[in-house]
Amino acid sequence: MNLVGIGYDVHRLVENRQLILGGVEIAHTLGLDGHSDADVLCHAIADAVLGAIGEKDIGHHFPNSDESIRGISSIEILKKVALILAAQHARVVNIDATLIAEAPKIAPHVPAMRENIAAALQLPANRVGIKATTNELLGFIGRGEGIAAMAVASVEQAEIKTQTPQRVIA
């Protein structure tokens, strides 16, 4: 069975945080605020993948009230999401994602992001599409206050056949 999920995430940019996108540390004066490493790209992808199989979002699986996962790498979150899929007899077929940010420039980092995400989800890097765009200076993203990401995931899940009880005629 072929399934599709969509994900979206946004985080505020703040001082004194590293900027991590797609598991890549990017030199920038600001980083994303969050309980984990706040990697909006990985979070949007995780939600898309979980949504494809009808699972609850990453906030349910990785709640910000759980201090044991404070600062967790979002690549680790994707690895755990891959395990959730495997338990449901499912696998990711491909990912298509878009980062929305005024700065920094994303294009130089896309190859490394693709490799990181592909490895975490156990698929070839050519099955991970990552694009970037600006918000044309509009809104909080345009003012440089945050970064957002959108993702679509295609997931294949084995159909589990349940046997229908046969009616016995006496």
Q: Where are the domains of the chain?
A: 2-157
Q: Which of 150, 136, 145 is nearest to 33 (CA)?
A: 145
The predicted structure's pLDDT at residue 159 = 81
Low-confidence ranges of the chain (pLDDT < 50): none
d(CA 127, CA 118): 8
pTM of the predicted model, to two decimals? 0.92
Residue 165: its pLDDT value, please? Answer: 61
The superfamily CATH assigns to domain 2-157 is: 2-C-methyl-D-erythritol 2,4-cyclodiphosphate synthase (3.30.1330.50)
